[in-house]
Structure 1
């Protein structure tokens, strides 16, 4: 009964959110709970409440303390749709989600090139609401892919053209899904959670000292981490011949997440004969998203051509 009430409350709050914050509702078709029933690996905590941040125009820009993960649906217009789709994981160091800049805004761009998009508001790892915080985000990402694949016919999507995209720590989640998609982290139906391609934007890839983003590692794995856990979530080490093709973006002057994260991922993909493309820019720093000035400004155009060449966009 408690869980059903929580789901009803989630649906009610979703309606309120889209009633008052119309910048998203003008474009998104619907918001779906990732877990319509019980959320796996969860601990009930009434004091743990979702927090939204706003800009000067009172539009939502970020979210933290996510308890009920969701997918915000942006379907491409039928006559423009390529049938491809992508689940987008915003970044934020596994402490918050930059859900507008690295979520809703990006989804609208995908629609402009005929690709449907789904913004994943995933749970951020926290011992206060999770029995094992290291697997919480991966559970949400796996189920998000399964949810899209399950509804592919309904949404007129190709179930073999479903990708994952991630920015910064969201890039770590996207690359974790790309390498650990078959990891049994919850009781699931026999439907593949493997993304067909991945798009990694200034991603955290490794948990290794020297190149990892320490905040992301601490939030996901904690302070005292075993060597086995560091190895498991250093995603460049988990690549094999079945890892999805990847498109990567990074700036040399990124002070938060060193460019070596993307370089090492590319090299391991190459070793395993997995198709990949990496664009390294002279400037841009970290978190440039869409529209910041610098040599990185036109990365969406490069991504568009990559998607077209791989038959993912018209």
Structure 2
């Protein structure tokens, strides 16, 4: 009898959690920008907390070298951690660049992030969030994507008749690819986004440490010093650029952990998620709490 009760309780919890999620196509049918006939359909999945304690929203972008999305390791656990803190999360399945499925592939992921920002802000009342409290979080190549969104928000190819602000209010970049310079970049991510025609002009355009301005939003950066996939220098150069422009920035560095640890660095006792959520909930998004 007790075993039956436990199973039923677990099923009820699973159903309740599933009901709190809703997957929505990012664009109306037949209106996907830059799409070819066999295009991937981007979507956004809403994670609503059981106990809402904040009117802040976070759009989450998993990594995957711009060749896939590591949702099970990065995006979904991050959304759940945000939900546990009472924050509404939106997992974005942005399109990975693929010339056979889309035109102008290098701007497609950014276009999808900007469309997600428009969706969240235009539906703020529905989700009981504030349109001026919308941040984005990205891991690895997703970190490159969110740092592109924070430095290229004045550039878009989207129709935006409502003139909705495309600038995120804050950014969380976790072991991010930031630079496309030969000495720093993750070559596979760079190749997947802007290859095979990799020119100095494109390298500079997508080296986001070079695109920081006084208008770049506050940023929380996470990295491990021993990361042998995406060099920690990506994070350090971004932090330095933000400080030079007096943009609030907070850095959380691990001595060990490598790459791809997601929300749980098993080599460490103190995790980045708790101070990051405090930083988000503080709402001032200052450099030091």
Question: Could you tell me the TM-score, scaled by structure 2's length?
Answer: 0.89
Does the C-alpha gap of structure 1 residues 305 and 25 become closer, same or farther in structure 2, counting only changes over 3 Å? closer
Aligned length: 270
SS at match of 1:135: helix
CA distance in 2, matches of 1:263, 1:181: 22
Matched, 1:84 2:56: yes
TM-score normalized with structure 1 length: 0.82
Which whole-Å CA distance do the structure 2 matches of 1:74 and 1:298 have between them?
22
* TM-superposed deviation, 1:128: 0.4
CA distance in 2, matches of 1:208, 1:112: 38
Q: Is the 8 A contact 2:265 2:271 kept in 1?
A: no
Q: Which runs of 4+ in 1 moved over 3 A?
A: 22-25
* 2:258 aligned to which of 281, 285, 294: 285
Distance 1:252 1:222, change over 3 A: same
Tell me the distance in 1 between the aligned counterparts of 2:213 and 2:224.
26
Gap regions ≥5 residues in structure 2:
1-13
> Of 35, 54, 62, which residue of structure 1 is paired with 2:27?
35
CA 27–292 in structure 1, closer or farther in 2 if over 3 Å, else same: farther
1:201 to 146, 165, 174: 174
Q: Report the more deviating stretch, 221-230 or 112-121.
A: 221-230
- Residues of 2 paired with 1:248 and 1:173: CA distance? 14
- Offset at residue 130 of structure 1 (A): 1.1
**Cα distance change of structure 1 residues 24 and 138 upon mapping to structure 2, 3 Å threshold:** farther
Structure 1: state its 5+ residue gaps. 1-21, 49-66
Structure 2 counterparts to residues 221-300 of structure 1, below 5 A: 221-295=194-268, 297-300=270-273
- For 2:246 and 2:269, the matched residues in 1 are separated by 27
For 2:45 and 2:167, the matched residues in 1 are separated by: 20
What is the CA distance between 1:296 and its match in structure 2? 7.0
Partner of 1:53: none
Q: CA RMSD in A?
A: 1.8
